[in-house]
Structure 1
């Protein structure tokens, strides 16, 4: 099938020769195809990084497209994997934020085929190659500690920033975009801010979101997330009055393929938009920044994105918070949304909702720089969207919980809650070409989990630890082959 979009819109449909296992999806007239899972691989839960601390937690990922090569049926390259704030023993710790470089080998299984016996989870071979630490603009190590009472005052080009009680910049990193010059954007939960770091991890600039997203308590900015360290008091009140809820920050972020825009999405609705309840937090926000000046991002567009709603095992209405995005254009992106509390390493065993959707912003109302960007003007009071606002449209693309797909690779969703049951948190995605001239619109979509550093052989911040209930959760990679018409005509300027 072939569909042409209006002039100037680069996402055009292509003729697709989909196999019997392909799963096509139509979004705004464009045909996208999920050809299924083609590879699985693991990094052991006990793996240590360059600094001798427990490796883990794939909160964000960026594939180095320039390193990506193909030799026959085998691919090689590297990617960057971003951990969050470290293993939470009792609240947060003084874990130094960092970025890991991973060498990758991929030998994909043909779409719909079964891997050789005993090789089901060896199609992806990841190796930890390097680790760098992230520092503030003065070169001082940052920290994963909850910024309970600290606000670093704005200075120069830097806005006010979250600061822990030990005086360090507090980061809970969630998403990464690596730029061609080696610098990178990293988004976080605490601010929720977007930071630009040098190639060696030195803070260069920071972007604060609109006031509607900045957490406040008693009318003042307060970046605490109610995860105090050992002996520290909880914030007052525990939850913000307005702005992002505790922990749902800028969870997803991606650069458009042409390198002109950076899209960042809040994990779920702000407090004033219904984010104070798990059943009303549906209306989150997508921020689209103009990147013509990398040091001074400019908010160009802003849209309401309705998160998926589902019924849990007890029949209660729940909202699937988003965990990562991959931009397809300046008005469309892939979005991974999931439930919580189910999977290897936690009490629940079967996930109800883990899907990747296509988000179309083209018909949504642009609310950037308007009244809804103020903290006192909800766009969705108590979760009910303002009638003047049209939200984005969602189309389901990939069901990560697809039992048939998982079964081909020795994985499952649900009991028994063993190492082959998918873990709870899938939070990282990145795209890279299949490098086949016969399939110019085909890509490998890498998806990785945040394993929460759960291991029986852990070591961080100078102390050994063992996760509760004997949990040993590997960092796991799932690789899908997908057809995304139109991307091959863009530069894929950023990873």
Structure 2
């Protein structure tokens, strides 16, 4: 096994004993990741000068892979450094997931204190297709073993619907592990798409088609241009942000970050949830989820959804947040986890428009206010990460000898190690949840993961060929 120990330093002040912000949910651990990954991409830098193997942005999604193993993904790569506004400063970053051993199994947890975790990166898996992809005007990325790699470049598409699965551009936003532990499901914002990849090789093995209402027909490498050119479909950069899998491994549940254009776009209140039967590959239901109004009654303003995770086959936790906090140079105000139940919820497949969706939205109840929880544990609104995006349940742990569930919360730092003079790491926050808070919780049963190596991932002697399309 090729393993790499990564930075795991937590500001001591944040570890001081402090009361929890919600009875039954407490902050019990924090770890963080930085450095370089195990992709083997060391020969070239990206168009903006950033290294291709930089570790960052990991909290875009996190998934439990069994035991003490988790998969984490950045989204479309480092694009905070300006270099070309015609492609929204996106780069030829190859989408990937990182395999991480978090250290939960060996950690000791006590009520009223926060344990420092030291995650270990054990593998990096690049995502590819065995068949050619549409790279548009972006560089073509192929490997020495016949791989056609996906890319973060926003111009890597052909004419037609945005849901064309042959398009090379990929913006990872959700990841879940299949029931047998051998493959992963990933949701994307560009399409939006839901793809299935072989967990060991990163090769795509299936694509799940979403209804045409989610696609846009006038594509652009600039998000704002794409938004203004369409009246129907997903809002650019606000596609399928969250993805859950039911504990039985039979159903995927995806949620949009913002309302579709025909449902009012970012000015509206209600996003769509879709359920996909994995065996048939078909979308089976659509539901509506209403966002909080964080503005006023006369001037509404709405946050976005970043993730959804399954409690059981019908109950879920949804991550609803603003974009404020560390990374944005502002103060965090809204980072809330809500509990929803889709049993008996109204199917909105035939409904269109903001008012129709809002009136049919599923009920929700506050599970935990993360701003309150984090400030009770030494953070300030200015040091709470702006982009709390990843959610995953992990294995149960003992807290003062009492068994608790773990709920992992991860942030996307946009590959920016510092912001405004403040450290801005990719953090993993471990929440301890008492059994009474989730009496109906059912853990996904995933086989223990086998050891992975660069050779097993097909990355030994990787030759990356880059040419202009």
Q: Normalising by structure 1, what TM-score? A: 0.72
Match of 1:208 in 2: 209
| Offset, 1:110 | 2.3
The answer on whether the counterparts of 1:109 and 1:123 sit within 8 Å (CA) in structure 2 is no
| Cα displacement (A) at 1:322 | 0.7
Gap change, CA 1:148 and 1:446, over 3 Å in 2: same
Please give the secondary structure, in 2, of the residue aligned with 1:105: coil
Residue pairs, 1:217-366, within 5 angstroms: 217=218, 222=219, 224=220, 226-227=222-223, 235=225, 238-277=228-267, 280=268, 282-291=269-278, 293=279, 296-311=280-295, 317-340=300-323, 342-348=324-330, 350-366=331-347
Separation (CA, whole Å) in 2 of partners of 1:206 and 1:445:
29
Could you say which residue in structure 2 is the equivalent of 1:461?
A: none
**Structure 2 SS opposite 1:384:** helix
Distance in 1, matches of 2:30 and 2:398, equals 21
Corresponding residue for 1:3?
none
Aligned to 1:161: 165
Shift of 1:216: 2.7
What is the deviation of 1:346?
Answer: 2.0
Quick check: 1:144–1:170 contact (8 Å CA) kept in 2?
Answer: yes
Cα separation, 1, equivalents of 2:248 and 2:402: 20
Q: Deviations over 1:63-99 (max 9, x none)?
A: 222xx2xxxxxxxx22110111111123211111111
Query: Does the C-alpha gap of structure 1 residues 237 and 266 become closer, same or farther in structure 2, counting only changes over 3 Å?
Result: closer
Q: CA deviation at 1:181?
A: 3.8
Contact 1:225–1:247 (Cα < 8 Å) also in 2: no
**Kindly tell me: are residues 307 and 261 of structure 1, through their superposed partners in 2, closer, same or farther at Cα, counting changes over 3 Å?**
same
**Match in the other structure for 1:143:** 151
Number of the residue aligned with 2:457? none
Say how many residue pairs are matched: 388
* Inter-CA distance 249–494: structure 2 relative to 1 (3 Å threshold): farther
2:360 maps to 390
Which digits, 9 at most, give the CA deviation of each residue in 1:7-43, with x for residues without a partner?
Answer: xxxxxxxxxxxxx95846xxxxxxxxx3311111222
Could you say if the C-alpha distance between residues 237 and 287 of structure 1 is closer, same or farther in structure 2, counting changes exceeding 3 Å? Answer: closer
CA offset at residue 194 of structure 1? 0.1
1:101 and 2:99 matched: yes
Query: Compared with structure 1, are the counterparts of its residues 21 and 144 closer, same or farther at alpha carbon in structure 2 (3 Å cutoff)?
Result: closer
- Corresponding residue of 1:6: none
Shift of 1:193: 0.5
SS in 2 for 1:185: strand
Please give the alpha-carbon distance, in whole angstroms, between the structure 2 residues aligned to 1:104 and 1:451: 18
Partner of 2:49: none
Q: Which residue of 2 aligns with 1:82?
A: 73
Q: 1:237 to 1:366 in 2, by over 3 A?
A: closer
Report how far residue 267 of structure 1 moved: 0.8
1:12 aligns to what?
none
SS in 1 for 2:148: coil
Gaps of 5+ in 2: 1-18, 43-52, 83-88, 132-146, 449-469
**Alpha-carbon distance, 1:315 to partner:** 9.6
CA distance in 2 between partners of 1:236 and 1:476 (Å) = 32
CA displacement at 1:361 relative to structure 2: 1.9
Offset at residue 413 of structure 1 (A)? 1.7
Q: Could you tell me the TM-score, scaled by structure 2's length?
A: 0.75
The reply to whether residue 114 of structure 1 matches residue 65 of structure 2 is no
Change (3 A) 1:478 1:491: closer
Task: Report the Cα distance in structure 2 between the residues aligned to 1:308 and 1:453, rounded to whole angstroms.
Answer: 29
Query: Which of 370, 376, 381 does residue 413 from structure 1 map onto?
Result: 381
- Residue 71 (structure 1) aligns with: none
User: Could you tell me which residue of structure 2 aligns to residue 171 of structure 1?
Assistant: 170
The 3-state SS of whatever aligns with 1:102 is: strand
